Amino acid sequence: MTITVKTALLCAVLLLLQQASAELHGRCPAQENPCPSRATPCSTDDECGEQVCCQTSCGQTCVDPLYTGCENIKLSSERISRALAAENSRSGRGVKSLRSPRCRVSDGEFEEIQCDNEIVSSCWCVDPAGFEVPGTRAPAASLVNCTRTDPCAAHTCRMLCPLGFELDDKGCPLCKCRDPCSSVTCPGQLSCQLEETPCLRPPCPPVPTCKRGRSLQNVCPVGEPLLISETSRPFLCGTDPGKPNCPPLYRCLVESGNDYGVCCPASLELQKAGTCPVPTETDCGTPCAHDLECPSMQKCCDGGECGRHCILPHNVTMCTQQKMLAELLVISEREGRGYVPQCTRNGEFVAKQCSRNGLVCWCVDTDGNKLRGSMGPAANVECQETPRPVRTGGRSMASCARALCAGVCEYGYKSGTDGCPSCECDDPCEGFPCDEDEECVRVREADCTGELCTGYPVLCEYLRDFDEKMEGTVDGMKLALPAPTCKSDGSFTARQCGAGRC
């Protein structure tokens, strides 16, 4: 091999390494910013952490950086690729990483020629917004000519497409609107959504971002909607007079054009217990914006180049974290209602868990999942040393994502068909062994009154307490009849009175 060839190869390798190792750094806005609130004076970027030191109307201060349209898409695609790589290592799915656009080192804008980053690469020219120019696709970058386009068949499609038209394998327009999300695979249960993101200089192309799909179940900006007890349906609320209100710690979110909405966690400052670990670049979890978006005991933490993503925290156990959340959720409940996990001094689940009134107990594994058939009267329940989680239906119970449910189940929640806890209240009699001629029923003790007594409320008690129950509380709405009076066993008293009449 000649010296000239060796030199050329060495230069090419150095250039590739330089491009691969180049980090994207945000820039100051093109126009001088107004003085930001709580402005931090600075003289260099090193004093601003993740911000940059820029000239504003009140001097040199730290402000949020701006990126070019190319850099915004590159950062997002790299975050998604890292999350996919982490998911691939856990599940062995083998999903390919996303193509990242090539940005000019000098100003961060799109390079004129882009390629699909495969070994046998297809390349094309792009416009200032990074969209492919029709008729410029070629099998190699050296064959692309951005000043001369190949002829395409006459395009008579009359669709109005804000981002232009999709292109076929030859780079010619189709009668189909361009969707940048069509080539994006998101990790887990997330779906691709286009997000309008400000950039350093227009045009600012929409950025494909992986987020939770929009539906009634996940319409909340953070966290899960409040669910009605003993069902998996969201508690519907409204902002107009006469429509149901949300309980404390929740606010009603009604989407435009809808009469009813769902109750979403009201406090964006609600933090799960635990401390975020030191950021690493080796394991990128699910992207997130807040703790309530993360499943089970995971927190939303800063992951350096990974961005904010869900990860297991330090200095906390699953039991202590679930206990803290349960205690928050039962603030609005009457005394004795709602199940709160019991933990050991080391933060592990006590093998024998009991309802708050202590009358009904059951056994759990190390992750707090209820063991099937173990529930019964407190005196009859004996639990062995806490067993490890078992697999049910091929799924590990340790991977169960715990939704935030209304904390009104005295005996905890039922396990679904996949072995994970649902938001349906459990019944101590379900699966309880009885003799052939016997039936398990929950009865109220004759001398017991109040919420600490076991048993289902009968019709009289249900009507009597209707206005105080969360599911039925609405402004200005009352029962057609006065609230009845009930006997100690829950039945109607023979004489009912209301509004001066009996």
pTM: 0.47
In this predicted structure, what is the pLDDT of residue 6?
Answer: 44
d(CA 218, CA 79): 22
The angle subtended at Cα 353 by Cα 276 and Cα 416, nearest 5°, is 75
Rounded Cα–Cα distance for residues 101 and 111 (Å) = 8
Tokens at 318, concatenated = 């699953």
Looking at residue 101, its pLDDT comes to 93
The answer to whether the bond into 203 is cis (omega within 30° of 0) is yes
Asked if domains 69-212 and 317-388+403-440 share a fold, the reply is yes
CA–CA separation, 219 vs 23, rounded Å?
Answer: 35
| Length in residues, the chain | 502
What SS3 state is found at 53? Answer: strand
On whether the CB atoms of residues 320 and 343 are closer than 8 A, the answer is: yes
Please report, for the chain, the start and end positions of each structural domain, with discontinuous segments joined by +.
69-212, 216-265, 317-388+403-440, 457-497
What is the amino acid identity at position 403? A
What is the helix (H) or strand (E) element at residue 208, kind and residue range?
A: strand 207-212
Rounded to an integer, what distance in angstroms lies between the CA atom of residue 299 and that of residue 370?
A: 24
* Cβ-Cβ contacts under 8 Å for 332 (sequence gap 6 or more): 247, 248, 249, 470
pLDDT of residue 130: 93
pLDDT at res. 439: 67
The answer to whether 333 and 346 have CB atoms below 8 angstroms apart is: no
What pLDDT, on the 0 to 100 scale, is given for residue 146? 93
Residue 409: closest CA among 241, 164, 227? 227
For residue 111, what pLDDT is reported? Answer: 94
Per-residue pLDDT of the chain (502 residues; tens, 9 = 90+): 444 444 444 444 334 334 433 466 788 886 666 776 677 899 998 888 888 898 888 888 888 889 999 999 999 999 898 888 887 777 666 677 788 999 999 899 999 999 987 666 799 999 999 999 999 999 999 999 999 888 888 777 777 788 888 999 889 998 888 899 988 988 877 888 888 888 988 889 999 998 876 565 567 766 678 877 656 677 888 888 878 888 767 788 887 777 788 888 775 556 777 888 887 766 677 788 777 777 767 888 887 777 788 888 887 888 887 887 777 665 544 455 567 889 998 889 999 998 877 888 889 888 888 887 788 888 888 888 756 654 444 334 345 555 455 445 667 777 666 666 666 677 777 666 666 666 666 655 444 444 334 444 556 766 776 655 544 444 445 556 678 888 876 778 888 887 778 8
Cα atoms in the 13 Å half-sphere on the side-chain side of 502: 6
- Name the one residue in this structure whose structure tokens are 């806890």: 421
Distance of CA 46 to the CA centre of its chain: 33
CATH of 69-212, one of 3.40.190.10, 1.20.810.10, 4.10.800.10, 3.40.50.1260: 4.10.800.10
Read off the amino acid at residue 117. Answer: N
CA distance 275 to 432: 41
Was domain 317-388+403-440 assigned CATH 3.40.50.300? no
Please, what is the end-to-end C-alpha distance for the chain in angstroms? 110
Closest to 311 (Cα-Cα) out of 337, 277, 336, 340: 277
Task: Give dist(CA 8, CA 185) in Å, integer.
Answer: 38
CA atoms within 13 A on the CB side of 262: 21
Tokens of 146: 């951005």
pLDDT at 338: 64
